[in-house]
């Protein structure tokens, strides 16, 4: 009896409140009805930090998924959450006017899917206090809707939306993918690498660099495998890297990435064939910077296109394809992967280096995999 009283008195978390407010908004919009009318506008909750949340997955009876994207429809910068309940709130994402919001619900033999775009952030609104937490709302306008029957038949509105913006096709597919993940606990639509800045913890950046140098100089990993990708394989390079990071994060609490971009000539037969190469190493352990980091046996190397200026020209398919791939992410993600703001910046630096016949030290960035533990610090620092 006492335990029951304690459970009844247990205060709701902000995640539970946000989830309930979202489900109520969808229910009021008719998303759980067999024949959804898809409201032209919908009010959705935001947190006191003007964030919305990725949530949901496949449930036993009703399934609900909500994904948030950038104003271009691509992967947003998000913060993965931990201690997640099945199909609960999994990540927070800062939203802006014109950000897209994807919604999908499923019950028995019918599935509803809709893509909305935030039209009003209600900047002057008064946030409402619920159980000690402040919540507001945004208004979003319907851009696309679809109904799926049990046999897979789809009745949808204008599909030309996806021709105009291929990122929205990605968003739609991710909604359907997440809807099929039973008892989902992890986000699938936020940028997977979080760049480490000095103000997070300089000790971690130092630990990554020391771990890399020690392993390389001492020859600890004598069987390092270098997976090489040409400029036409950027998508494959990224997907294989993410697959390996996902595997490692299931085994270790801390998984970090060291990205090093160099302008070099690595051809033994051709002189003056300098190009940009990005080498990504993975380091991991279970105690952060409290113990040495282990260097993963696989290194991922990407050779950039020698004609990076052609990224803006439609007749150069390879560069254009890679450019489209990077449009799935925010501009800052290019820096996370390669250490520069853009291919244009890399090309300008390359021209100067060739003209002056000079060398340049590798540009190095550090990041952590987004599904790895939320801890940036050592266990001792966390307990202080």
Task: State the pLDDT at residue 380.
Answer: 43
Mean pLDDT by 10 residues, the chain (384 residues): 53 95 96 91 96 94 94 94 90 96 92 96 94 96 93 86 91 96 94 83 82 73 82 94 94 93 74 85 86 92 75 43 82 95 92 87 92 53 37
Which residues on neighbouring strands pair with residue 100, listed in sequence order?
117
- Which pLDDT score, from 0 to 100, does residue 315 have? 42
CA separation for the pair 82, 288 (Å, rounded): 17
Q: Which of 319, 340, 140, 138 is nearest to 234 (CA)?
A: 319
Question: What pLDDT sits at residue 11?
Answer: 86
Find all residues with CB under 8 Å of 10, minimum gap 6, and list them: none
Helix (H, G, I), strand (E, B) or coil at 290: helix
Are 187 and 54 in contact by the 8 Å Cβ rule? The answer is yes
Domains in the chain: boundaries: 2-179, 193-382
Token pair for 268? 């033994």
d(CA 52, CA 29): 18
For residue 228, what are the contacts with CB-CB under 8 A and spacing of at least 6? 301, 303
DSSP secondary structure letters along 183-218? T--S-SSS-SEEEPPHHHHHHHHHHHHHHHHHHHHH
Q: Which fold has domain 2-179?
A: Immunoglobulin-like (2.60.40)
Give burial (CB, 10 Å; 0-12/13-18/19+) of 259: buried
Percent of the chain as helix, strand, coil, to the nearest 5 = 35, 30, 35
Q: Which two tokens stand for residue 244?
A: 């390996």
- How far is the C-alpha of 89 from the C-alpha of 48, rounded, in Å? 16
At 7 the pLDDT is 52
Query: Is-contact 303 229, C-beta < 8 A?
Result: yes
CA 86 to chain centre: 20
Whether 258 and 247 have beta carbons less than 8 Å apart is answered as: no
Q: What is the pLDDT of residue 279?
A: 96
Half-sphere exposure of 351 (CA within 13 A, CB side): 9
* Residue 308: predicted pLDDT: 55
């Amino acid at each position: 009896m006492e335990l029951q009283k304690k459970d009844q008195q247990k205060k709701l978390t902000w995640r539970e409140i946000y989830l309930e407010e979202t489900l109520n908004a969808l229910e009021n919009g008719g998303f759980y009805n067999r024949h959804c009318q898809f409201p032209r506008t919908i009010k959705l909750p935001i947190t006191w930090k003007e964030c919305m949340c990725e949530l949901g997955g496949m449930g036993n009876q009703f399934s609900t998924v909500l994904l948030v994207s950038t104003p271009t429809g691509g992967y947003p910068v998000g913060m993965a959450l931990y201690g997640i309940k099945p199909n609960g709130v999994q990540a927070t994402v800062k939203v802006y006017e014109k950000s897209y919001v994807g919604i999908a619900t499923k019950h028995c033999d019918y599935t509803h899917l809709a893509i909305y775009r935030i039209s009003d952030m209600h900047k002057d609104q008064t946030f409402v206090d619920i159980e000690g937490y402040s919540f507001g709302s945004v208004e979003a306008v319907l851009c696309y809707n679809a109904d799926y029957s049990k046999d897979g038949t789809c009745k949808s509105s204008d599909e030309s939306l996806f021709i105009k913006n291929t990122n929205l096709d990605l968003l739609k597919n991710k909604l359907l993918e997440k809807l099929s993940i039973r008892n989902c606990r992890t986000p699938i639509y936020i940028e997977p690498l979080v760049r480490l800045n000095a103000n997070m913890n300089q000790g971690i950046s130092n630990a990554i660099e020391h771990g890399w140098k020690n392993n390389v100089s001492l020859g600890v990993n004598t069987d390092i495998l270098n997976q090489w990708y040409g400029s036409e394989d950027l998508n494959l390079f990224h997907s294989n890297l993410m697959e390996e990071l996902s595997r490692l994060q299931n085994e270790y609490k801390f998984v970090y990435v060291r990205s090093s971009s160099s302008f070099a000539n690595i051809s033994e037969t051709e002189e003056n064939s300098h190009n940009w190469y990005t080498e990504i190493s993975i380091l991991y352990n279970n105690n952060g910077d409290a113990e040495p980091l282990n260097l993963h046996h696989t290194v991922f190397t990407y050779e950039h296109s020698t004609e990076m200026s052609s990224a803006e020209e439609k007749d150069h398919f390879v560069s254009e394809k890679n450019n489209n791939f990077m449009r799935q992410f925010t501009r800052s993600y290019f820096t996370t992967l390669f250490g520069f703001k853009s291919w244009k910046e890399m090309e300008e630096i390359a021209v100067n280096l060739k003209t002056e016949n000079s060398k340049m030290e590798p540009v190095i960035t550090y990041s952590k995999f987004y599904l790895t533990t939320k801890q940036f610090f050592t266990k001792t620092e966390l307990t202080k």
